[in-house]
Structure 1
Amino acid sequence: MGLFRRSWRGRGRLAGCGVAALVVIGIAVVWTLHRAEPAPPGGSGTARVDRGEVVTAVATTGSLEPAQTRTLGFAADGTVTAVNVRPGDQVKTGQVLAEIDATDAKERVDDRRQSLDDAEEALTDAQEAADGGTAACPVAAPRIGQVGAVALVAAGGATPPPASTPSPSPSGQPSPSPSPTRSTRPPAGQPTASQPPRSGGGQAPGSGQAPGAQVPGGGRGAECSGQRAGDPVLAAQQRVTSAEVALAEAEDQLAGTKIRAPIGGKVLTVAGAVGADVGTGSTFVTLADVVGMQVAADVPEAYAGRLTIGQSATVTLANRPGEEFAARVVRVDPVGAADGDLVRYGVVLAFEEVPAELLVGQSANVRVRTGEVAGVVRVPSTAVRGDATVVVRTGAGDQVRAVGVGLRGDRYTEIKTGLVEGDEVVTAGVEGSPS
């Protein structure tokens, strides 16, 4: 009987130990499962309401390009005789970049200059001839009757009465007009009272020509008449003007046998080598002003209306992580370009201070500020629901509260009413919150 009791006690102890072990294992399993369980949706992230800046921005990508690019060529046809630069070289304003054979261009300039000298000499001769001819030309020729009367008075004869005045009769009555009678002409060589003697074989005064005057149609009279019909001075002046224009064109072509840098910058391309034949106007060198490097980007039409000239922006470059460069919008294209189903608008930004050692064409990330307010009550944008409510955490539990929303920024949203500084709002996993 004693043996049986001892055996039962031993089995009871073993059973108790097993139960205790099972309890310990169960507690451990429950604790482990509870620890690994994830936090429920609508989690416990919170933030304090504060005052600060709220900013809206448009983000996009672009590439670096020069502020201005020049394509340069020769002003004449020819063979390249010198190429003084290669892509990547930095050049100064006025530096000679390339040349072609200038032999023909120089000969053309010499010919045009000789033509101008000849035209100027002809103009001088025409002006001298015009000055001498003007003094010998009469200002106004007298009428024939006036010349005859002057000649009779000079010869001592009486001035005949007017042909239209009849002589009165003795009775005081007008006498009939006498019948015309044949005039008696004196023998040749004998003068009459109305015809003074000829001297020196000259024209008679009654002929209507002043002494010393030339007969129309020949001599000095013909020269004066020619000057009135066509001005030789004007024709000579026109010839000089044409020669000056031709010489200027030839000199431009001679200057165009050399390509000079119109701006300082970096050579991007060179299209030929020594010995190559080039034509007028073809691009031979491309030059870029890398000092005024800009960022060219584009934005979707949904955001293009937010962009205006003068807005501030930041630019980050792939080869300079962690650095931000201030920039400003300097151009917004008024016309969009189709990009698949989207329409995009181009925008150009200029650096406030251009960084050194920029690469033409390298990529850039752009963030343009389109709106901003400072010193306002704000909450993280993830705390604001789509229906303009927030979840406020209080000692009595979470409360949904309607708020007045101002500027909605990328990180923060302005709160006009419904919250005060110091309130605690739920931010993580809020249902309906904007992403």
Structure 2
Amino acid sequence: MKVWWLAGGAAVLAVAVVVGVLLTGDEKVAPAKVSTTKVTRGSVSTTVSASGTVQAQQSRTLGFTSSGMLTELNVKPGDVVAAGMVLARIDATAAQESVDAAEESVDSAEDALDRAETAQASATSTPSVSPSASRAPGGGQNPGTGNQNSVQNASDNLLNAQQRLNNAKLTLTQANAKLAGTVITAPLAGKILAVNGTVGSAAGSSVITLAGTGDVVVKAQFTEAEVAHLKVGQVARITLPDNASAKYDGKVIQIDPAGTVSNRLVRYAALIAFDKVPDTLLYGQSATVAVVTASVDGVLSVPSTAVRGGVVVVRVNGRDEERKVATGLRGDVNTEITSGLAEGDEILTAGR
């Protein structure tokens, strides 16, 4: 009985194997999924991307022309200011007194000049004696000589009065400049980076650091291979971490000629300026830039994955056929087709 059971079990197993083989043989392998697309006309571009930080290309240190007690401070770090806005003041009492005294000196000098001009006019209007009668009888001096001396003295007095007025005006100009130096105004629109001082403390030539709105750039690091394709003036797209979906336009304005080595990799810094600086931009925040290094517009293109060895598979009336094509710029996504295809042709992009 045990032998029969074993023999029966083997027979059942053999039948199961045969049935399994037959069933497996009837299954068909599913074909690879085929994807197609149309040949379109548009733009093809290549880009190089890098990460960097937002910074001021050039900052300005603002201060007073002389030291004094800080009496007014209208800004703090991070504030956005308009050109001409008053940012801070120091005590201007002494500077104003100097201006008042200089104005009085100018007034006095102008009065002296008026008197000198009147005296010269009077001296020159007095009739003179003929040179032939320059000596009076008996060897005395002719009255005409005294008139000539009066004219000379009047001219000297006029010159001195004019010099005095010039000096007084120069002193007034300097005093006004010193008075103006007691106020800090924004030379251009920008953002306050730092403030050194508080109201009631002494302040001097370094009080406020300002970065101009138009001076904001992204300093990004590119590899040797990438920097070889960079040029000043190339268009760039800038992405900020607080809004990854927004793309800000910019352009390359500077490429460092010397690289820096980090972990045996040489990188070159490039500055990318914003065409329009976002209001919410923060200095020091990270950013990603994609610089367009080459582009063509209004050309036929297909996905780059569809082109293999200069051959594209075209679907015509339900049948697929290979076709040789000539290509131009191979972009990040699409490849330019210069001949071999027409706009609207259906091509295979996957499943070949």
TM-score, with length taken from structure 1: 0.64
Query: d(CA) in 1 for partners of 2:208 and 2:303?
Result: 54
Corresponding position of 2:39: 50
Deviation of 1:416 (Å):
1.8
Aligned length: 340
* Residues 1:389 and 2:313 aligned together: no
Structure 2's unaligned 5+ residue stretches are none
Deviation of 1:58 (Å):
3.4
Tell me, what secondary structure is at the counterpart of 1:224? helix
Tell me, what secondary structure is at the counterpart of 2:237? strand
Deviation of 1:115 (Å):
2.3
Q: Which has the higher strand share?
A: 2
Corresponding position of 1:83: 73
Deviation of 1:62 (Å):
3.8
Alignment of 1:177-196 (within 5 A): none
> Which deviations, in whole Å up to 9, do the C-alpha atoms of 1:62-112 show, x marking residues without a partner?
444568754321122212233233223344554432222223212322332
Query: d(CA) in 2 for partners of 1:288 and 1:208?
Result: 81
Tell me, what secondary structure is at the counterpart of 1:333? strand
Query: d(CA) in 2 for partners of 1:13 and 1:224?
Result: 154
Tell me which amino acid in the other structure corresponds to 2:330: R
> Which deviations, in whole Å up to 9, do the C-alpha atoms of 1:167-197 show, x marking residues without a partner?
xxxxxxxxxxxxxxxxxxxxxxxxxxxxxxx
Query: d(CA) in 2 for partners of 1:95 and 1:231?
Result: 49
Corresponding position of 2:157: 232
Tell me which amino acid in the other structure corresponds to 1:128: T
**Identical residues among aligned pairs (%):** 36
Query: d(CA) in 1 for partners of 2:349 and 2:301?
Result: 11
Deviation of 1:22 (Å):
4.4
> Does structure 2 conserve the Cα–Cα contact (< 8 Å) formed by 1:45 and 1:427?
yes
Deviation of 1:44 (Å):
7.5
Alignment of 1:284-363 (within 5 A): 284-290=207-213, 294-298=216-220, 299=222, 302-303=226-227, 307=231, 309=233, 312-325=235-248, 327-329=249-251, 332-333=253-254, 336-340=257-261, 341-351=266-276, 354-363=277-286
Corresponding position of 1:422: 346
> Does structure 2 conserve the Cα–Cα contact (< 8 Å) formed by 1:393 and 1:424?
yes
Corresponding position of 1:142: 131
Tell me, what secondary structure is at the counterpart of 2:131? coil
> Does structure 2 conserve the Cα–Cα contact (< 8 Å) formed by 1:390 and 1:426?
no
Corresponding position of 1:190: none
* Residues 1:214 and 2:143 aligned together: yes
Corresponding position of 1:20: 15
Corresponding position of 1:116: 106
Corresponding position of 1:188: none
> Does structure 1 conserve the Cα–Cα contact (< 8 Å) formed by 2:306 and 2:348?
no
Q: Which of the residues 339, 343, 365 maps onto 2:288?
A: 365
Query: d(CA) in 2 for partners of 1:25 and 1:233?
Result: 129
* Residues 1:258 and 2:180 aligned together: no
> Does structure 1 conserve the Cα–Cα contact (< 8 Å) formed by 2:36 and 2:346?
no
- Structure index of larger Rg: 1
Tell me which amino acid in the other structure corresponds to 1:141: S
> Which deviations, in whole Å up to 9, do the C-alpha atoms of 1:352-382 show, x marking residues without a partner?
xx54423233222222334433453323223
Query: d(CA) in 2 for partners of 1:220 and 1:11?
Result: 161
Query: d(CA) in 1 for partners of 2:22 and 2:158?
Result: 125
* Residues 1:59 and 2:49 aligned together: yes
> Does structure 1 conserve the Cα–Cα contact (< 8 Å) formed by 2:39 and 2:341?
no
> Which deviations, in whole Å up to 9, do the C-alpha atoms of 1:299-352 show, x marking residues without a partner?
55754655453x554322111132333x142x522763433334444332313x
Query: d(CA) in 2 for partners of 1:7 and 1:88?
Result: 94
Tell me, what secondary structure is at the counterpart of 2:243? coil
Stretch deviating more after TM superposition (97-106 or 44-53)? 44-53
* Residues 1:246 and 2:144 aligned together: no
TM-score, with length taken from structure 2: 0.76
Corresponding position of 1:132: 122
Give the direction of change, closer, same or farther, for the CA distance of 1:55–1:7 in structure 2 (3 Å limit). Answer: closer
> Does structure 1 conserve the Cα–Cα contact (< 8 Å) formed by 2:229 and 2:293?
no
Tell me which amino acid in the other structure corresponds to 1:316: T
> Which deviations, in whole Å up to 9, do the C-alpha atoms of 1:116-141 show, x marking residues without a partner?
23322221221122111112262x63
Stretch deviating more after TM superposition (250-259 or 92-101)? 92-101
Tell me, what secondary structure is at the counterpart of 2:284? coil
Query: d(CA) in 1 for partners of 2:2 and 2:84?
Result: 117
Structure 1's unaligned 5+ residue stretches are 1-5, 149-202, 429-435
Query: d(CA) in 1 for partners of 2:139 and 2:351?
Result: 126
